Amino acid sequence: MSANARFASMLHEMASMLELLGEQGFRVAAYSKAARAIEGLTSDLSTMQPAQLLAVDGVGEKMAQRAAEYLATGTMKDYAQLKAKVPEGLLQCLGVPGLGPKTVRAMWTTLGVTDIAGLKKAMDDGSLANLPRMGEKAVQKIRDALATIEQGQGRLPLGLAVAIAERVLAVVRAQPGVIRAEAAGSLRRGKETVGDLDIIACVEKLDAGLAQAVMRAATSMPGVQRVLVQGEFKASMLLSVEPPSPAEQAAPEEAKAAEPHPHQQTSTKVLQVDVRVVPRVSFGATLQYFTGSKEHNVRLRALAQTKGLTLNEWGLFLDSTWKPFHEAGPVSASRPLPDGVVDASEEGAIYAHLGAPFVPPEMREDRGEFGSAATSGVALDVAHTARALVRVEDIRSELHSHTTASDGVLSIEQLARAAHARGFHTIAVTDHSQSSTIARGLKPDRLRTHMQAVREVHAKLHAELGMTVLAGSEVDILADGNLDYSDELLQQLDVVVASPHASLKQDAATATKRLLRAIEHPLVHIIGHPTGRIINQRAGLEPAMHELLAAAKQHNVALEVNSHWSRLDLRDLHVRMACEAGVLLAIDCDVHHPDDFANLRFGIATARRGWATKDMVINTWDGPTLHAWLRRKR
């Protein structure tokens, strides 16, 4: 998290705490407003002059002083005072879907509940249900939400894990003697959640002193909570999920005493990180081994055996008398490999030597990647798929984004320029529709004005940059499958993304009917986050996916792979089903904030895990092809 994001997160937290203390609405709102303004800043807080900061809408004198204090000390006195008054556990309670600030405050002041354990007790003894605005139904909702959160405990969403991996990799790569370092494991496979991190550091020649220095650097980096193992060539540690504050970075010792920042809602507080140091000749083999999956490796090892070879984490050997290189004596670039050892410095050489096509990490799940036993239905051509998998750099357009008209932080023009800076030829502006009141969805009148504004920006930027800015909507699919705007209005939009936002606990049959109606609607182009699930928090709809896919194919509707790491919806298996059914995909970032464009890698990873090739993804098309496809529904 950047200093901006961290400061904003502290302001959000202060707003929550003030609210829990029963503070007046306008004071609370001042903090939330400032927090949102800071989140939307495109420049780094620490480089801004006080006058520049004061010029930001939503930042007043007082907040500017707080920013200065935060930058100087890494915290704020007022923040610490609030923290002393409001029990930590209450903020966790606020993070439970279905529990608003009013209820949490009532829970605290009338029932004495201060944490999740207390909340559970109050649910069990019936006292929670008796609070104003509560009742059995509301309590059951909270119970379900808690169960979902607890199931997710221990596995971290990919986006958060990647941020941590990058911190560790930066430290390891900065060590003298380290040629390269990569994250392996489920993270490299792009899995939606990650159990622990597996970091592989490569040195030219394995040397105990060098390895120790690398591991010492890792285990003493900011945020390390505990060192579990520090062996000869491997270290394991628990790393705090929250990024260290500037103060901690400066003084790691004080860091241990510093308070954690619970605003970011995650149920996992620490992540295990394993760091291994290997010599260059082994790097590819080690990376391959620890990338997994275990099931994929079992298959690859069996393949090696059929050829009389031994494959392990150290390399690929012609007989079983192999030894790890550090035991077999010095092997280096200047010294040829011993007889009987295949160069395993690059993992591609291992697949090549075994006569297998190179399998991209996201496909290593033993789901048919060795050309056998496809999971279901149609078998996709493995070699072709592996070569043609969609990549981040193939994406040329964003078709799902929000502006300040609904719940985004960018203006239409800022959004379009940000998309252009990414190398995109097209962006669709798709603000929320009227039923999404929390997201400030647009009533028909406001949508008409907004469309006009989008078309004006299009005219300007098309002339200036050749950029296409499309007028669209993310229109709610209501509980019964009706759309949230009239056909007359939808007809005027260039792009319609139809998404479910409410009633996400419908039974499967109702959900299927609901989504089928949206797919069959002649004006709909894309179904946004089709299940509405939130990773570790909400299961979402469970429609009969095959029926949806058949309809999507028939009606030429694309299904979205929402790239936000808390959604990844469609999920990997659904993508695989879609590709087998020949259904088009839209990989979009659902942009609310300029940073959201960077989530594309997670949507791409999910699509690749579902074996999506470039040709199945409408965002890879050139402008004329995409625009013609959109116009077919007008």
Query: Which CB sits closer to Zn ion, 312 or 499?
Result: 499
Looking at 99-107, 189-197, 447-455, 531-539, which segment touches ligand DGT (CB under 6 A)? 189-197
Distance CA 143, CA 312 (A): 46
537 touches Zn ion (CB under 5 A):
no
Q: Are 427 and 398 in contact (CB under 8 A)?
A: yes
Distance CA 83, CA 20 (A): 11
For residue 264, the minimal CB distance to Ca ion (Å) is: 21
For residue 619, the minimal CB distance to Ca ion (Å) is: 30
Strands laid side by side in the 310-312 sheet: 310-312, 315-317, 341-342
**Pick from 13, 19, 192, 198: which binds ligand DGT (CB under 6 A)?**
198
Q: Are 347 and 313 in contact (CB under 8 A)?
A: no
For 337: left if phi > 0, alpha if psi spans -120 to 50, otherwise beta; the answer is beta
- 3-state SS, residue 569: strand
**Pick from 40, 152, 159, 185: which binds ligand DGT (CB under 6 A)?**
185
Residues 282-301, one symbol each (x = binds ligand DGT by CB under 6 A, - = not), give -------xx-xxx--xx---
214 touches ligand DGT (CB under 6 A):
no
**Pick from 13, 39, 242, 274: which binds Ca ion (CB under 5 A)?**
274
Query: Which CB sits closer to Ca ion, 196 or 588?
Result: 196
For residue 495, the minimal CB distance to ligand DGT (Å) is: 36
Distance CA 38, CA 595 (A): 13
196 touches Ca ion (CB under 5 A):
yes
Residue 293 interaction partner, one of Ca ion, ligand DGT, Zn ion, none, beta carbon < 5-8 Å per kind: ligand DGT
Q: What pairs with residue 248 in β-bridges?
A: none
Looking at 180-188, 221-229, 355-363, 604-612, which segment touches Ca ion (CB under 5 A)? 180-188
Residue numbers 331-370 binding Ca ion by CB under 5 A:
none
415 touches ligand DGT (CB under 6 A):
no
Residue 290 interaction partner, one of ligand DGT, Zn ion, Ca ion, none, beta carbon < 5-8 Å per kind: ligand DGT
Q: Are 457 and 468 in contact (CB under 8 A)?
A: no
Residue 499 interaction partner, one of ligand DGT, Ca ion, Zn ion, none, beta carbon < 5-8 Å per kind: Zn ion
For residue 609, the minimal CB distance to Zn ion (Å) is: 22
499 touches Zn ion (CB under 5 A):
yes
Query: Which CB sits closer to ligand DGT, 88 or 166?
Result: 166
Task: Mark 202-211 as b/e (b = at least 16 C-beta within 10 Å).
Answer: bbbbbeeebb
Q: Are 224 and 232 in contact (CB under 8 A)?
A: no
Residues 298-337, one symbol each (x = binds ligand DGT by CB under 6 A, - = not), give x---------------------------------------
Residue numbers 452-511 binding ligand DGT by CB under 6 A:
none
Q: Are 483 and 546 in contact (CB under 8 A)?
A: no
Q: What is the dihedral of CA 620, 623, 629, 634, to 10 degrees?
A: 140
For residue 529, the minimal CB distance to Zn ion (Å) is: 6
My answer on whether omega of the bond before 436 falls inside 30° of 0, hence cis, is no
Helix (H) or strand (E) holding 397: strand 397-398
Looking at 61-69, 113-121, 184-192, 453-461, which segment touches Ca ion (CB under 5 A)? 184-192
**Pick from 89, 98, 177, 195: which binds ligand DGT (CB under 6 A)?**
195
* 630: its two tokens: 């959109």
Q: What is the 3-state secondary structure (H, E, C) of 174-191?
A: CCCCEEEEEECHHHHCCC
For residue 501, the minimal CB distance to Zn ion (Å) is: 6
Residues 157-196, one symbol each (x = binds Zn ion by CB under 5 A, - = not), give ----------------------------------------
Rounded alpha-carbon distances, angstroms, from residue 615 to 207, 282, 463, 579 = 47, 36, 29, 10
531 touches Zn ion (CB under 5 A):
no
Residue numbers 223-252 binding Ca ion by CB under 5 A:
none
566 touches Zn ion (CB under 5 A):
no
Rounded alpha-carbon distances, angstroms, from residue 26 to 23, 31, 37, 53 = 9, 9, 16, 21
Q: Are 554 and 524 in contact (CB under 8 A)?
A: no
CB atoms within 10 A of CB 130: 13
Query: Which CB sits closer to ligand DGT, 304 or 331?
Result: 304
Query: Which CB sits closer to ligand DGT, 156 or 389?
Result: 156
75 touches Zn ion (CB under 5 A):
no
**Pick from 32, 186, 219, 406: which binds ligand DGT (CB under 6 A)?**
186
Query: Which CB sits closer to Zn ion, 4 or 499?
Result: 499
- CA-wise closest residue to 362 among 585, 584, 159, 611: 611
Q: Within the chain, what is the greatest distance between any pair of CA atoms?
A: 78
Residue nearest to ligand DGT according to CB distances in the complex: 292
- CA angle 241/67/248 to nearest 5° reads 35
532 touches Ca ion (CB under 5 A):
no
For residue 67, the minimal CB distance to ligand DGT (Å) is: 38
Cβ neighbourhood burial of 137 (10 Å; 0-12, 13-18, 19+)? exposed
Residues 273-292, one symbol each (x = binds Zn ion by CB under 5 A, - = not), give --------------------
- CA-wise closest residue to 568 among 197, 147, 161, 191: 191
Q: What pairs with residue 559 in β-bridges?
A: 527, 585
Query: Which CB sits closer to ligand DGT, 597 or 602?
Result: 602
For residue 402, the minimal CB distance to Zn ion (Å) is: 8
Residue type, 626: L
Which residues, at least 6 apart from 53, have a Cβ–Cβ distance to it below 8 Å?
45, 59, 64, 67
Residue numbers 19-58 binding ligand DGT by CB under 6 A:
none
Size of the site for ligand DGT (CB under 6 A): 13
Residue type, 320: S
Q: Are 249 and 204 in contact (CB under 8 A)?
A: no
**Look-up: residue for tokens 């169960």?**
147
Helix (H) or strand (E) holding 294: helix 294-306
Looking at 23-31, 380-388, 498-506, 625-633, which segment touches Zn ion (CB under 5 A)? 498-506
Query: Which CB sits closer to Ca ion, 196 or 569?
Result: 196
Provide the binding-site residues for ligand DGT, judged by CB under 6 A: 185-186, 194-196, 198, 289-290, 292-294, 297-298
Provide the binding-site residues for Ca ion, judged by CB under 5 A: 185-186, 196, 198, 274
Provide the binding-site residues for Zn ion, judged by CB under 5 A: 499
